[in-house]
Every structure is written in structure tokens, then in C-alpha cells.
Structure 1
Amino acid sequence: MPLSNEEKRNLKEGEIYIDEETQKKYRVKKAAFPQHQIGGPHGLGEPDDRSLRKVEADVLIPKLMNEAVEKIECHDLHLAIVNCFRLHGGVKGLKACAPERDIYNVCKIEK
């Protein structure tokens, strides 16, 4: 019978655990990361693992999508905002460039 999570928590690093059914000995190894992130041939994660880390899903993918929209889909509108901010400055540009910003945001939402 496998160990429950509560029993695993009570074991200490390096302790020897003996499986009652098979009489096999296991050395307890505790890690801060799940096995699929530290396993693999070089200890850098399983090569076939297709799951995403939290930072990849929440930060990197939206950032890459935003950059693609800026460079490809809505490039001319993005340049209009950049030129407007260069013309009016950073603080005054927030108010003066509102129409360009609104048009750009609509383009981003559509894409």
C-alpha cells in the first residue's frame, strides 16, 4: 500500500523507508519542485513534459502575444501612439494621445 501524503510529510530527508508489501528499501528524497521539473536525463526536467509553468502561462505567453500584435497586426496604430507620445511628451501625452490609444486598444482586442 503506498504512503499517504501525511505519512510522506512525517518522513525526513535521507531516512530509509521499507515498503511493507515488497520489502523494498527506499531513501527519502525531498525537493522543492515536482519530479517532472527536476527529473529527466540532465536534471533539468522531463523532455516530453508539455505542461507550462505558472510564469510561462501568466507572463511570457501574454507578453509574446502582445509583442506580435504590436509588430504585425496593429503596427501602424502602435507607431501612431509612439509618435504622439514623442510629440507631446510622457505626461501630457497621456491625455493628448487618448484617441490614438483607444483605437489601438480596439485593434488589440479584435486581434
Structure 2
Amino acid sequence: MKNNDKNTNTFSDSCNNDLFFELSDYEASINSGGFDITNNLNNKVNYYSWDEPGGIKKRTLQPGKTQAFKNEYILYDGDLSSGFNPVLFEPPSRNEKYNFERDGNDLELNIV
């Protein structure tokens, strides 16, 4: 009986590993916890993302495009004028969708 249980667990583990291999970044972020950011501005947005194992990555999000994230922090300049206002966005505790939006001279990440 133990041998059958061991084979079932091995099969199950193999299926779980293969499941996430077949998914896109967006699909995997939904299943493993994550969030999306869409750029609703007419200009590109430059920002940094980082997580513990992957380190810091400089990114650019083009107008109208969406990027999926797993469990990453986002750092961006919240001042669209000549100043600098660093904003740190912490990963949400559940799957959410956010938009980069303009409010006067401020750049904000707002929940959809």
C-alpha cells in the first residue's frame, strides 16, 4: 500500500511542476499570487521592480501595455514634473489589477 501512495505522490508532484511550466507569466501570476499593472498614460513609464531571489530590474512599460508580477515591489517616480518623489508599492496580499494614472503632476498606481 505504501508503494502505491509513493507513486501517486510522485505523479502528483510531476503534474504540479508541469502545470506552471505551460502557463504564460500572466496566467502563472494569477494562479500563484500576483498582480498586473497597465500603463494608462500616453507616455512610457520607467520603474524598478525587485524581489528577494531575483534582485532589482529596471523596466519600461509602454502606453496601453500590461505587465504581470508575482510577488515584487515596485519603485517609481511619483512626480511627473521636474521634481523627484520616489514611491514604493508593496505587493498586494491577493490578485489585483492596477493602472499607472496621472493626477495633475502626480503619477499614481490605482486599483482597477
Could you say whether these structures have the same fold, taking a TM-score greater than 0.5 normalized by the shorter chain as the test? no
Question: TM-score, normalising length from structure 2?
Answer: 0.28
Question: TM-score, normalising length from structure 1?
Answer: 0.28
Structure number with bigger Rg: 1
More strand per residue: 2
